[in-house]
Amino acid sequence: MSFLKVYNPIKALAVLSFVSIAIKYWFPSEMIFYLLLSPYAVLYFLSNENNYRNTKLATIRVIPATITFVLVLFLLFGIESDAQAGIGLVLGLIIQLVSISTAEFIILFFINGEGST
């Protein structure tokens, strides 16, 4: 049931977030750069019609996507260049990855048994 096709805006926001974070934190020799881009790549690859086929799956996957995109604003505009900036950057990254992983674990362990995924 893709009545709103919610996966299209999520895919577009994932690409926009990926590009904006890549431009702001461009240091490709560092491993943290690739980790910073990982939540947006995961959201992009998860956003297809099959993963949002019913309301329950869409709701569970939209919540971490919303958290991730709100934190993009924090990562882009909320971190100043000071000694503790790395702590805030890593905290934002961890929150994004934990929210996406938690939603996928909920789907895997609680909804997979119902035959819906």
Residue 74 covered by a domain: yes
Minimal CA–CA distance to 18: which of 54, 45, 50, 51? 45
Which of the two residues, 104 and 53, has the higher pLDDT score?
A: 104
Tell whether 110 is covered by a domain: yes
Tens of pLDDT, residue by residue over 55-97, are: 888 888 999 999 999 988 888 887 777 777 778 888 888 999 9
Within 8 A by CB and 6+ apart from 49, the residues are 2, 5, 7
In this predicted structure, what is the pLDDT of residue 117? Answer: 47
pLDDT value, residue 114: 57
> Is 2 domain-assigned?
no
Residue 1 within a domain:
no
- Higher pLDDT, residue 20 or 111: 20
User: What is the chain's mean pLDDT, rounded?
Assistant: 83
**Residues 76, 21 contacting (CB under 8 angstroms):** yes
Question: What b/e sequence results for 86-107 when a residue is b if at least 16 CB atoms lie within 10 Å of its CB, and e otherwise?
Answer: eeebeebbebbbebbeebbeeb
Q: How big is the CA angle at 43 (ends 41 and 47), to the nearest 5 degrees?
A: 120
In a domain, 96, yes or no: yes
Please count the structural domains in the chain.
Answer: 1
Q: Pick the residue with more confidence: 29 or 107?
A: 107
Q: 43 and 14 in contact (C-beta within 8 Å)?
A: yes
Q: What is the mean pLDDT of residues 21-42?
A: 83
Note whether residue 33 is domain-resident: yes
* Residue 20 pLDDT > 60: yes
* Contact criterion met (CB below 8 Å) for 100 and 39: yes
pTM: 0.79
pLDDT of residue 4: 62
In which domain, by residue range, is 12 found?
7-114
